[in-house]
Amino acid sequence: MTFDLKQEWSAAEVSALLASVEDDRSWRLEVTADGIVQLNDLTMVPDAAHEDALHCCFEVWDQGTDFVGAGAASDKNLCKTLERRLRENYPALQGAKTLSAL
Q: Is residue 73 part of a domain?
A: yes
Q: Is residue 99 part of a domain?
A: no
User: Structural domain of residue 80, as residue ranges?
Assistant: 2-92
Q: Residue 102 has what pLDDT?
A: 75
Q: Let me know: does 37 contact 30? Beta carbons within 8 Å.
A: yes
Q: Is residue 44 part of a domain?
A: yes
- The pTM of this model reads 0.95
Confidence of residue 101 (pLDDT cuts 50, 70, 90): confident
Q: What is the pLDDT of residues 13-69, one digit of tens each?
A: 999 999 999 999 999 999 999 999 999 999 999 999 999 999 999 999 999 999 999
Q: Is residue 69 part of a domain?
A: yes
pLDDT at 79 over 80: yes
Q: Is residue 41 part of a domain?
A: yes
Number of domains present in the structure of the chain = 1
Q: Is residue 97 part of a domain?
A: no
Query: How far is the C-alpha of 21 from the C-alpha of 18, rounded, in Å?
Result: 6
Q: Is residue 100 part of a domain?
A: no
Query: How far is the C-alpha of 24 from the C-alpha of 69, rounded, in Å?
Result: 9
pLDDT at 11 over 80: yes
